[in-house]
Amino acid sequence: MAVPLDLPPRSLSAMGTSKASPMYNLRSSVVSTGSTTSLASLFAGTGASLPRDIVDDIKSVIHHAFVPHIAVHVSQDVNEIIREKGLPDLYQLIRPYGEKVQGRITARDSQGSSMPFEDFAVRGRTAPGAGTGAGQWDGGSAEAMNSEELPLVDELLDLHLSHAEELIETSLAAETEHHTGQAFYLLYLRKLLSGFPVTPHETFAHPVACLIAISSRNLAPIDTLRQLYKTGAEMDIPGYVNKEYLRYYVLVHDEDNDDIQKSTALFEQMKRHFGLHCHLLRLRSSLCIVSDEDSVPLAKSEWLPASEELAELRSRQDDEIEGESTSRFIHGSDESAIKTMIREMVAQSVIPFMERNIASWNDQILSRRKGLGGRMLSFSRRFLSSTATRSTTNSATASNFDLTTNSYDPITPEAQMRKLADWAFMLRDWKLAYDVYNTIRSDFNNDKAWLHVAGAQEMTIISLLLTGQAITPKLRADTIDVYLDAACYSYVTRFRAFYAALRCLLVTVELLRLAGGSSAELAAKWAIRSLDLNVQPTVGKALISQRVGDCYAVRQGAGSGGWGGRRRKAAMWHILAAEMWIRLGKFAQARHCIDVATPRYSGTEFVFIRRFLEQLNLDSGHVDLLDLGSLKLSGEKEAQNGGGESLVDLADGDGDVQQQQREREKEREKGEDGEKPRFDRKRRSILIPQTVNGDAPGMMTMTMDESFDDRPL
């Protein structure tokens, strides 16, 4: 396989593992890795089968991250009706119901086979000029690509974790088990993927359709629809966004005040003027309260960007302070009408529109690109791009890439092929998406469009993993490692696009983790690579560190001895995550990580790692869950070996462990206490205090790769 030209000057270390959220018990069934040789099969390792609900949760997050976007462009009279219902606008009313389209949705792949979806989704966004400035449409690009959203995600996760800590303090552990591990990491991943920027190198956030709405109160409905169409076509959006998207026309009928017969006649007139992509939405304009007979809670959006959710939480806090109700209700008939409208729009208009365009681009562009003429053109472009003496005219005519905007015009073959791949991916035709991404990658490479090359490499790997193809050592070495390495290098070094690099790595990590076996270890190493980006704030870093341990835990090893497993590495990363959680004051999360790691070291005679665990248990307030009798025996042995003070010495003092813990913390702040074990992330090692001959203190270094393998203790 051809190696992309955009390679980093040095190899970016990263491979990985996958699997095992600590809050779930993993089954120990052995799964073959699909290696091509007996020797590789022996040492490829095995993976614990993930519970079906975990697999479904992870796949659901990835599926719902890459969905069609629909702009909402409405007249003022529509929003007046919605404001009478106690909501700001139509967009806020219908957005939550697009995240889970009602019923089964069927699409067709490039071979004509039906693909039924039970969880299809679309995502809305307000069109510029419809109550917001144009900046909302394209202003998110620079912010997201430069990672300015990452601190907001961290702040939001910190609020959720603090709330969970309060619940755990007042509830039984069994009642709050779901608050740890898997749930918070998936929340973190969902918030990272909830705000795709509008960028030139991908079209996931570009609109597939635009919902244009008027109400039955409008005095000139047809003229208003034409005006909305015109303003929609003149929206101030970037030049690389294609404005030839589907228009879907909606007439909002006021059930409380208007005549349904007049609205029906107007709706028939709309269909004659604008075609069949129309819908009559019947809503009540009256305010709904909880005591109404048919009241239902307004659905909550799970895919709000972090900035919007934080603003909503602050607004809710203000309402609670002022004594106002923070709950919103709508009539049950309104909810049914909205769900029906979204289902009809998606099933009868949006998906057929996407299928027609995919088939057209496939026949007109991709087939020619793969034919003899397309290969000759590709060869000539490569020749021209590699000729050092080519003229400026040749340079201009040989490429459709605009260096000034770092983009392609939306009508160029390169832009249309990228859109073909993205739309196939959104309709979950992974095979077609993989073929197209892999094809256009070389075209972008010839044009030296490095951001586009990185995007194609990222999606090539993601679509390949979603096809379910067996991950062989050759595939890992020649494709996965090379493409991820090059994509991260371009994102980080050339464009400082840390958000894009983090998204690329974390989505790939989850898919590798689902594959299990040796792929799980590959997932862990790429997760460590994401930590090396140094762009995650504190909560994100702790969650990813905990996920590294989850990935290593999936690699269970083969045979009764567990050869090839990574259990000790998994325990070590959970210990490191526990230390991070303690520093953040999230003691429930820390105790959970300690519970996962402790069984691995419960019988160890390694004094220093036991002391490290004892200190973590003290700091997290987890002493009451320990077996103090067994610790007493280990403490006596440690004292005989000159290991110094242990947890048992504290527990056997005056009985007030918490008081002694606070005193020790004060001593450490004053510098009176000896050094405690600490993690040196740059060297990937734990530095452990060691007493030499009973007097001279020193530090013993234990590296992650050498001292935490799975050799017998």
pLDDT tens profile 484-495: 999 999 999 999
Query: How many other C-beta atoms can be found within 10 angstroms of the C-beta atom of residue 148?
Result: 14
Among the candidates 352, 387, 412, a domain finishes at: 352
Q: Is residue 696 part of a domain?
A: yes
Q: Is residue 188 part of a domain?
A: no
Q: Which residues pair with 281 in a beta bridge?
A: 252
Who wins on pLDDT, 148 or 521? 521
pLDDT in tens, 666-709: 555 554 444 445 545 444 445 545 544 444 444 444 444 443 44
The model's confidence at residue 258, banded by pLDDT at 50, 70 and 90, is very high
Among the candidates 352, 383, 409, a domain finishes at: 352
Q: Is residue 169 part of a domain?
A: no
Question: What residue type is 388 in one-letter code?
Answer: A
> Among 186, 236, 211, 148, which Cα is nearest to 58's?
186
Q: Is residue 478 part of a domain?
A: no
pLDDT in tens, 216-247: 999 999 999 999 999 988 887 889 999 999 99
Residue 562, pLDDT above cutoff 80: no
- Say what the pTM is: 0.81
Query: Which domain, by its residues, includes 253?
Result: 61-146+201-352
> Among 59, 82, 68, 191, which Cα is nearest to 130's?
82
Query: How many other C-beta atoms can be found within 10 angstroms of the C-beta atom of residue 527?
Result: 31
Among the candidates 352, 381, 405, a domain finishes at: 352
> Among 690, 682, 686, 681, which Cα is nearest to 708's?
686
Q: Is residue 381 part of a domain?
A: no
Domain count, the chain: 2
Per-residue model confidence (pLDDT) at position 369? 77
Q: Which residues pair with 247 in a beta bridge?
A: 210
Q: What percent of the chain has pLDDT over 90?
A: 57
Handedness of CA 589, 592, 596, 599 (dihedral sign): positive
The model's confidence at residue 604, banded by pLDDT at 50, 70 and 90, is confident
Residue 305, pLDDT above cutoff 70: yes
Please state which of the ranges 38-42, 310-314, 466-470 shows the lowest mean pLDDT.
38-42
Please provide the average confidence, as pLDDT, over all residues in the chain: 79
The model's confidence at residue 378, banded by pLDDT at 50, 70 and 90, is low
Give the DSSP per-residue string, 261-300. Answer: HHHHHHHHHHHHHH-S-EEEEEE--SPP-TTSTTEEEPPP
Residue 619 near residue 578 (C-beta atoms within 8 A): no
Mean pLDDT score, 262-270? 97
Q: Is residue 366 part of a domain?
A: no
Mean pLDDT score, 581-585? 95
SS3 category, 433: helix
Distance CA 637, CA 129 (A): 74
E strands in 348-406: 401-402
Residue 130, pLDDT above cutoff 50: no
Taking CA atoms, 229 is separated from 128, 241, 388, 682, in Å, by 13, 17, 48, 56
Q: Is residue 459 part of a domain?
A: no
Distance CA 617, CA 598 (A): 10
Residue 246 phi/psi, 5-degree rounding, is -70, 135
Q: Is residue 630 part of a domain?
A: yes
Q: Which among 254-268, 365-379, 696-710 has the top mean pLDDT?
A: 254-268
Length of the chain: 713
